[in-house]
Structure 1
């Protein structure tokens, strides 16, 4: 799910680490919360229609991202609230595509999140630290977003692009999940 309020920030971090992963597609949003990945490498039209149907029954909702945290492997991230709404979307799609477990089944507990940076990665000012990432992103927090669609994006060095957007059901602004 795209988080436009943080896209410029995430795009610039990406550019600093590896510009090949910066998309030239104007519809592509770098700042996102993954719903299900990896998914089918070459989805058929029937798969796309099935996802569209599943997601069209899910009401749109408002979310907020704040309070940076770090996973044990060093990924600095933001958890969205309401986290349950994001987890339910993952469960919905993973249930429909059991051959595509989230993150290839590597994690017993799938935590919805927006990745910010990797502690220890090489940054412009030396190795990335949690404190430096938190200080850099702080002026943009809390980030608020209307979650009204799920984007299917292709991630490839030199070829990141938006493949399709799946709208969620209309719900009045301010409605929770």
Structure 2
């Protein structure tokens, strides 16, 4: 069963993230040209079938937020082995997430599993052959990545059905 997620797409890292996604489960690669596998999650899982009023509440929450620049340089690893890049600055992502959580309190980030979620871009997961050092080497010249958050996408994630359902431009 699929789920929806509100994300900031990060095209600069998409070649690497798509390659790793294909390695683990190619059914999560999308034919939708608007869909970017590489992203920073703001709120997910979100509503499975949002209506027009829900989409407007997202627009209202995002309205005062301007587009912003960020870099991805710092690698990290969560206790569960998830290897990621942390955006700098992190504050605009935390603000976007807080605005969306305030608009949709029934949708806690990550289903409430992490009370203080850390904005991040997922790269890979630790295994006997994968660790932060091997991931850093594999990412190569893609990092440091200088990026711009210009929009928030509502993505649908499901096996063989990943696509963008809606998109909002940041001011």
TM-score, with length taken from structure 1? 0.90
Q: Is the 8 A contact 2:74 2:87 kept in 1?
A: no
More strand per residue: 2
For 1:20, which of 1, 5, 27 is the aligned residue?
A: 27
CA positional deviation for 1:115: 0.2
* 1:2 matches 2:4: no
Aligned length: 164
Q: Which residue does the alignment assign to 2:99? A: 92
CA positional deviation for 1:129: 2.3
* 1:165 matches 2:156: no
Q: Is the 8 A contact 2:82 2:126 kept in 1?
A: yes
Q: Secondary structure in 2 aligned to 1:11? A: helix
CA positional deviation for 1:73: 0.3
Q: Is the 8 A contact 1:65 1:81 kept in 2?
A: yes
Q: Is the 8 A contact 1:37 1:102 kept in 2?
A: yes
Q: Secondary structure in 2 aligned to 1:40? A: coil
Q: Which residue does the alignment assign to 1:102? A: 109
Q: Which residue does the alignment assign to 2:143? A: 141
Deviating 4+ runs (over 6 angstroms): none
CA positional deviation for 1:127: 3.2
Query: What is the root-mean-square deviation of aligned Cα atoms in Å?
Result: 1.0
Q: Which residue does the alignment assign to 2:125? A: 118
TM-score, with length taken from structure 2? 0.93
CA positional deviation for 1:107: 1.0
Q: Secondary structure in 1 aligned to 2:74? A: strand
Q: Unpaired segments of 5 or more residues in structure 1?
A: 121-125, 170-177
Q: Which residue does the alignment assign to 1:172? A: none
CA positional deviation for 1:50: 1.4
Q: Unpaired segments of 5 or more residues in structure 2?
A: 1-7
